[in-house]
Structure 1
Amino acid sequence: MVQQDQVEHVFNEKDIQINCNSNFIVRLYKTFQDSKYLYFLMESCLGGDLWTYLQKRKGRMVPEIHARFYAACVLEAIAYLHERNYIYRDLKPENLLIDARGYIKLTDFGFAKSLKTASKTYTFAGTPEYVAPEIIYNRGHDKSIDYWAFGILIFELLVGKSPFRTDDHTNMMTYNRILRGITSITFPPHVTKSATNLIKSLCRPLPTDRLGNQKNGIQDIRIQNFFQGFDWEKLRNQSMKPPFVPKLSGYTDTKYFEKFSEDDDIPPQDETTTFEGF
C-alpha cells in the first residue's frame, strides 16, 4: 500500500465509511494497524455479493419485481451518501452485498469522495462499463454520475449484462458505445416501458438532464412508474420480504462466498511507519 502510494486513498475510504450509519451501507466499526497491515473491522453480510447471485440465475437476471427491490435498496444508500455530500463512483453488482435477511448493502468505498454542492472532481474513477460520458471526456463530474450508474445497474438486473459491455480489453469500444448513448441500445422485449423510461432518464448524456439531478432530487426517481406502488417505508424499516433470503447455518457460514487460497504475498515488517488517526 505504501509502495503504490495508496495511503491517502485508504484513509479517504476509511473516513467516509466509518461515518456512515445506514441500513443500506456496510458498517465499518473500527480500524487497527500493526507493523504489516491495516485492518478494517466491518459488518459481515453472509449472503454473498449480488454479482455472484446473478451469475447463478437463468440469464443472469432477475424479474422486474425483484429488480425493483434491489434497486430501491441501492437508491436508499445513494440518497444517504448524497445527503451528506459524498459521491460513490463505483456502483456495480460486485459492490452490493446481501445480508443475512436478504437486504442489499453497499460496500467498497475506495472511489467514494466528499464533494461540496456545485463542485466537480476530475479523477478518472469507476468500472469502465459503468462510467458516465463526462468521466470519459474528463469534463469534471459530480453526484450525477451515481444516477447514470444506477440506470446501468437496473439494466443489468433486468437483462443479464450491462448495456455498453464489449469484449475489448482496452475498453475503448466500451467507451465509444457509452458516448453513443443509451438511445443507441436496443432493449429486449421483456423490459417494460416503465423500466425502459427510467433507465433512459437516468442515463441522459448531459448530467443536468439526468433524473435525480433536478430540483426534487432523488424523490423524482422514487415516484417513477417503475416504482409505482412500492412501499418505501416498509423497505426502510426492513419489514419487506426480500426476493432471496440466504439459508445460513450460523454467524460464520461462508458458503455464499468463493474459497480463496491463502495470500502468500507477505509485506515486509515495518516497525517505523504508523498511520496517525487509523
Structure 2
Amino acid sequence: MSTLLSVVASPEKAENKSKKKRDGPRIGVAAAILGETQGKETSKDTSSQGKDGQNGTAGTPSGAASAGTWRSFFGGLFGGRRRSAENTAEFTVDGIRSMLQGRSFTLNDFDLRQTVGTGTFGRVRVVKIKGSRVRIPLALKIMKKSEVINLRQVEHIRSEKDILSTLHHPFIVNMFATFQDQKRLFLILEYVNGGELFALLRRAGRLPQEHTRFYIGEIALAFNYMHSVFVIYRDLKPENLLLDCQGHIKITDFGFAKHVEDLTWTLCGTPEYLAPEIIQSKGHGKAVDWWALGVLMFELLAGYPPFYDENPMGIYQKVISGKFSTPKHIDVKARDLIKRFLTLERTKRLGCLAGGFQDIKDHKWFRGGWSWEALQAKQVAPPFQPAVRSNDDTSMFQQYPESTESSCPKIEKEEQQFFEGF
C-alpha cells in the first residue's frame, strides 16, 4: 500500500572542515529552488553521534559509527513508538488522486498545519482539506511568484510540475494537483512523515552495508523508471530522499529534473554529486544519475562524499580527476560497484553499457538477500522504520517559525504570463 509523503529538498550546507563529515545539508549549484531548507533533521535528535566524533572507527572519519553504535542508535530512535504500516498509511495514492481529480482549489480550502520545510522562495506545510469527510494529510508546497521570477527559476518550477504530473512510481513523490493565485504557486503533494535519509545518516555517521544496499536498490529502480520515460533527475543527495512510514525511499524535489532524449548542457546539481561531464560542459544525459548513485553509495557507507573538499573548485578538480580513496571497512564488492559508477568516461559507466540497467542488477554486490522483483513490489522489509504515531505526525522534521502566508509581494500584470497554465 502506497504511503503519504511530503516534499522537502535541497537544504543549505555547513561542513565540519576538520572531519570530512557533513553537519548540515547542501544547496545546488544553480539558484536555489524551494525545498532548499535549513538544517532539517528529526526534532528528536538528542544524540551526539556524528557531531563530536566520539564514536569513530579506525581508518574512517571520526563521525562514522560502529556496528554497536548502530544498534544503540536504532533502539533509541524506535523508542517504543513503532507502529504498523496499516495504522499510518491508511489511504492509497490512487485513492487520493481519484478524490482530488478535477477539483479546483484555493488556499482557503485548506487547514494549514505545521511547516516541515522552508526555502528561498517559500515553504512546505502539512495541510488538510476543509470539509472533507476523510481528513487526509497532504503536503502543500507554497512558492512566491516574485521570488521565482527574481531568481530566474520559472523554467525549473514549470518543469518540476510537468514532470511530476507524469511520474508514477512507488519510490518517487506523487503530485496530485497544482493551483495558483496572484502572488503564489501551489503544489499539492503526498505527505511522507518519516523524515529524510539525510537525518538518519547524520545521526548514525554511516550506514551498514545491508541498509545501504536496500536504499541504493530502491533508488536504482526509480532511476531506471525515470530514464525509461526520458527523465533525468540531476539532484540526488541524502537531503532529497524521504522515508515513508514503513521506511521505503521516496525521491523528492524535481526542480532540476528534465525531459532529455539525448543530451542537455545546463549546469545544475550539488557540487559533490556533479558528474564530470556536467562540470566540463560536454553535454550530459542519464549517465549523470548513475554517477550520482555511486557518490551516494560511497557517502552512505563512508559517512562523507568521495570528492570532499572545503572549496567547490577543489571538489570540481577532484571530480574531473576521478581519483578518490575508499575506507578500508568497505568490502571489495562494494568498492567495485562504486568504481564502476564513478567511471569518468560515461560510455563505460555502469548503467550506460550495452546491458543497461541489467548490468547493475547483475552486479555481485546485489546478489543474495532479496530479489529485484520483491524490492520493486515493496515486499522487502526496510532496515529502519521511522518512529511515527500517525499519518500526520511531523515529529521527524525540524520545527520552523510559522507564516500567515499573507505577507507576499505582488507581481506585475505582464509577469503573470510566466505562469499561464500552471
Fold match by TM threshold 0.5:
yes
Separation in 1 of the partners of 2:183 and 2:291?
Answer: 39
Partner of 2:156, secondary structure, is helix
Match of 1:268 in 2: 409
1:76 alignment partner AA: L
User: Cα distance, 1:3 vs. partner?
Assistant: 2.6
Match of 1:208 in 2: 347
Separation in 2 of the partners of 1:156 and 1:188?
Answer: 11
Partner of 2:329, secondary structure, is coil
Structure 1 vs Structure 2: percent identity of aligned residues?
43
Separation in 2 of the partners of 1:185 and 1:271?
Answer: 50
2:395 alignment partner AA: K
Match of 2:357 in 1: 218
User: Cα distance, 1:264 vs. partner?
Assistant: 8.4
Q: Does residue 114 in structure 1 map to residue 252 in structure 2?
A: no
Q: Does residue 32 in structure 1 map to residue 179 in structure 2?
A: yes
Match of 1:247 in 2: 387
Match of 1:69 in 2: 214
Separation in 2 of the partners of 1:140 and 1:164?
Answer: 21
Match of 2:7 in 1: none
2:346 alignment partner AA: P
Match of 1:88 in 2: 233
Partner of 1:2, secondary structure, is helix
Partner of 2:187, secondary structure, is strand
Q: How does 1:1-278 map to 2 (within 5 A)?
A: 1-57=148-204, 60-116=205-261, 119-168=262-311, 171-181=312-322, 184-229=323-368, 230-262=370-402, 266-270=407-411, 272=413, 273=416, 275-278=419-422
Distance 1:212 1:268, change over 3 A: same
Partner of 1:56, secondary structure, is helix
| RMSD of aligned alpha carbons | 1.5
Structure 1-normalised TM-score? 0.93
Structure 2-normalised TM-score? 0.62
Separation in 2 of the partners of 1:131 and 1:5?
Answer: 21
Unmatched segments (≥5 aa) in structure 2: 1-147
**Residues 58-83 of structure 1, C-alpha deviations (whole Å, 9 max, x = no match):** xx211100000000110011011000
> What is the number of equivalent residue pairs in this alignment?
270
Separation in 2 of the partners of 1:18 and 1:276?
Answer: 16
**Residues 127-147 of structure 1, C-alpha deviations (whole Å, 9 max, x = no match):** 001101111111111110101
Separation in 2 of the partners of 1:222 and 1:257?
Answer: 33
1:251 alignment partner AA: N
2:178 alignment partner AA: T
